[in-house]
Structure 1
Amino acid sequence: MYHPRLYGSFHEMGLKYGTLLSEKANFKIPPMNSQRLDFGLQSYRELKTFYPEVVEEIEGFAQGIGDRPERLGAFLLSLGVLGTTGQCSVFAFANGDSVIMARNYDMLFEYKKFTESSLIAPTDKYAYISQSDVFIGRADGINEKGLSIAMSFVNGTETRPGISFHFIIRKVLENCDSTEKAVALIRNTKVSSANNFLIADRNGSIAVVESAPQKSNIRYPKEGKPFLYITNQFISPQMKVFDRGKVEWSQSFERYDHLKRSLLSLKTMDMKKAKGILSDKCICLNLKKERFGTIWSVVANLNTLQIERAETLPKVTNYKPETRLDWWLKKTKM
């Protein structure tokens, strides 16, 4: 897993990282067929309206690798929409004085070589720690305001040119300090594919946005059950019509039911308990035949901004502290 530290203007961050990957890894944009290129170019035009600042980052990155921003944007905005997508487990639990979030990201093991955990601190935006298997786009993260967001793929019935989850998560982390604001942002976004988004903030507000190009729905914790959890299907009756299913191979329903049982059995949550749940063989995928499984896990206390990450199949004992956000916040206060 790579561990870049990116800060400054959006263009500066893009140029720095693009130049680094070009010089150190000879990075080139992979070939795209005409369907993917056309879908990506249409989505890139949408991104210019949705988040023009991140387009500046794409332009800087493209300059660093010596390619056109449009090709890079088309590549990024078709990832996870028209290709292989992860299968994930996520939950958040609100105690009286703390909120714990936890996530497993499950993907083809070959994608391990592309994974990165980044400190990103754009000028005049919130700083955050986030994970991904693609540069620029994000799959989950925790920002300086104690807001967390993580996605899980749903096998939707339709895709449309629009904004992929990678850039929705970027905009949430960089601009939102509450679950309410994040929910509103997602609901007003022209999304390109079906996903669950689990959002939590340090005040104990937790929500799941079940999001599809056709419609979205919000779920909140039930009374007396201060937690929510997601795997890879829609739960709300009104959203199931937009879910084609066929995720049995990744044990999505079994993972969902096990999360439910585990969370119902607990009155409080801490990071050790969260790591234990993520490490359980019923939650942590290790599908050797498919060469597919958990390639990173993250747990965090949103009130203290304590973050720990396992960069392989998780065990309670193999998480390491993540200190870069604390370093950045202290640095900028000096």
Structure 2
Amino acid sequence: MKSKVMEFKHCVVEGTAYEAGKQLGNMLKDDKTFITAMTSPFMGGSKISKHQLTRVMDLYDKFCPGTNDEITGFADAIGANAEDVVYYFAFLQNRLSNCSHIVLTPSISENSQIYLGRNYDFHWNEKPLLIESRIKGQYNQIGFGCQVFGRFDGMNEHGLCITTSAGVINPEYTEEGFVFPVVVRAILNNCKTVKEAIELFDSMQIADYRNFIIADRYGDAALIEVAASKRALKMAGNTENDKYLFSTNHYNIPSMKELGYPIVKHSIVRHNAIKACIEASLPKISKAELKKILSTTMPEGVCCHHYEDGMGTLWSLVFDPMQMEVDICFGSPNINQWKTFNLNNPTGVKKYSAMLPNESATPDFWKPVSNS
């Protein structure tokens, strides 16, 4: 079996947005390949136009204040022009990810806690960054960075947590709007509760095809399925009939299913595994049982080792907003150990390594299937 050791960096920054960006630049500038990728047009395209740059900067100031200063600090540290930083393409571009995520509300979880867990699955050529920030004017937060300034997921100082997964594999983009890393960062920066997050979400123009799960320390949770301007909401929690939510890489809310977007087999397999595991564990589910779902390989669980095929688990996490902790496993949780993090780590960089065991996917792994 082919395997690879992957390095993960945990970067902790604080101060003004400019200072935090400069700290990140200094932490990352020695990785020339990474810096080239972060300062080149997205996907080998053309440079962003002055008109579009101004437009995106204005939108960042509106929804994610401090982003432009953070980018400027980063650019100054690495000796680049701020307008060349790839994150300015995040109003139009997309980043594929094949993920599973689950939220358990207090009424069905052991110890009456709320837990939001997820696996992030992709190719092993990634360079994952766990970023913890204490930036003036923003809520303190921890989560995995996407293009440094965006987030794949995260939890802030008020216990507001968010995770995402692709709703459609390789969609065709036909509308303008933000893609998920900006949406996630804006919510972490500005929102204390699921209600506030939904209000901010509704005000944002989104081009992405994405599933979002949001949870707060008060026991409320929401699944938002988005196909550009089309979106649907499902709630769970204290006053809702649903006590848990989960998502993989397709839509399940009836109004979104009706849109008829293609679905791949592995998404259905993971969806069915999550449902079966939760229903078998009711009426009460522990954090350990949630981790077991994330750690068990398909088809019984959702962990994947198909790294060279673009579907290997790079990290897993379980947010515990009532305790203000997140348990993280770097690499496959089937063979690597979990570690606990909070929001009080000292500034600087700490490195972790994890083993990624590659296995070839079966020929029908990416096969289109129906969602009946």
Band of TM-score, shorter chain:
0.7 to 0.9
Question: Does 1:68 pair with 2:81?
Answer: yes
Alpha-carbon shift at residue 192 of structure 1 (Å): 2.3
Matching residue of 1:320: 339
Alpha-carbon shift at residue 40 of structure 1 (Å): 7.4
> 1:247 and 1:256 mapped to 2: Cα distance?
11
Structure 2: tracts of 5 or more residues without a match: 1-7, 347-372
Question: Does 1:13 pair with 2:20?
Answer: yes
Question: Does 1:124 pair with 2:141?
Answer: no
Q: Secondary structure at the match of 1:293?
A: strand
The 8 Å contact of residues 104 and 294 in structure 1, kept in 2 or not, is answered as: yes
Alpha-carbon shift at residue 286 of structure 1 (Å): 1.5
The 8 Å contact of residues 76 and 137 in structure 1, kept in 2 or not, is answered as: no
> 1:118 and 1:58 mapped to 2: Cα distance?
15
Matching residue of 2:363: none
- Of 286, 305, 323 in structure 1, the residue corresponding to residue 305 of structure 2 is 286
Letter in 2 for 1:295: L
Matching residue of 1:332: none
Q: Secondary structure at the match of 2:254?
A: coil
Matching residue of 1:85: 96
From the superposition, tell whether residues 319 and 36 of structure 1 become closer, same or farther in structure 2 (CA, over 3 Å): farther
> 1:5 and 1:74 mapped to 2: Cα distance?
20
The 8 Å contact of residues 100 and 165 in structure 2, kept in 1 or not, is answered as: yes
Matching residue of 1:295: 314
CA RMSD of aligned residues (A): 2.5
Question: Does 1:3 pair with 2:10?
Answer: yes
Question: Does 1:274 pair with 2:287?
Answer: no
The 8 Å contact of residues 121 and 127 in structure 1, kept in 2 or not, is answered as: yes
From the superposition, tell whether residues 229 and 262 of structure 1 become closer, same or farther in structure 2 (CA, over 3 Å): same
- Of 165, 180, 196 in structure 1, the residue corresponding to residue 180 of structure 2 is 165
Question: Does 1:30 pair with 2:40?
Answer: yes
TM-score w.r.t. the length of structure 2 is 0.78
Question: Does 1:209 pair with 2:224?
Answer: yes
The 5 A counterparts of 1:147-296 are: 147-155=160-168, 156-221=171-236, 225-240=242-257, 242=259, 244-248=261-265, 251-265=266-280, 266-282=282-298, 283-287=302-306, 290-296=309-315
Alpha-carbon shift at residue 88 of structure 1 (Å): 0.4
State, as a whole percentage, how many aligned pairs show the same letter.
Answer: 26
> 1:34 and 1:44 mapped to 2: Cα distance?
19
Q: Which has the higher strand share?
A: 2
Q: Secondary structure at the match of 1:160?
A: coil
Matching residue of 1:331: none
The 8 Å contact of residues 152 and 163 in structure 2, kept in 1 or not, is answered as: yes
Letter in 2 for 1:6: V
From the superposition, tell whether residues 220 and 76 of structure 1 become closer, same or farther in structure 2 (CA, over 3 Å): same
Question: Does 1:143 pair with 2:149?
Answer: no
Q: Which has the higher helix share?
A: 1
Provide, for residues 262-293 of structure 1, a one-character-per-residue CA deviation record: whole Å limited to 9, x for no partner.
12222223321111010121201222561531
> 1:143 and 1:178 mapped to 2: Cα distance?
10
Alpha-carbon shift at residue 198 of structure 1 (Å): 0.1
> 2:335 and 2:279 mapped to 1: Cα distance?
20
> 2:87 and 2:114 mapped to 1: Cα distance?
37
Alpha-carbon shift at residue 49 of structure 1 (Å): 3.5
Provide, for residues 289-316 of structure 1, a one-character-per-residue CA deviation record: whole Å limited to 9, x for no partner.
6153110000122211232110000138
The 5 A counterparts of 1:88-107 are: 88-96=99-107, 97-107=112-122
Alpha-carbon shift at residue 247 of structure 1 (Å): 3.0
> Which of the pair has the greater relative contact order for Cα pairs under 8 Å at 6+ separation?
2
TM-score w.r.t. the length of structure 1 is 0.87
Structure 1: tracts of 5 or more residues without a match: 329-334
Letter in 1 for 2:152: A
Q: Secondary structure at the match of 1:13?
A: helix
How many positions carry a matched residue from both structures? 320
The 8 Å contact of residues 306 and 322 in structure 1, kept in 2 or not, is answered as: yes
The 8 Å contact of residues 95 and 268 in structure 1, kept in 2 or not, is answered as: no
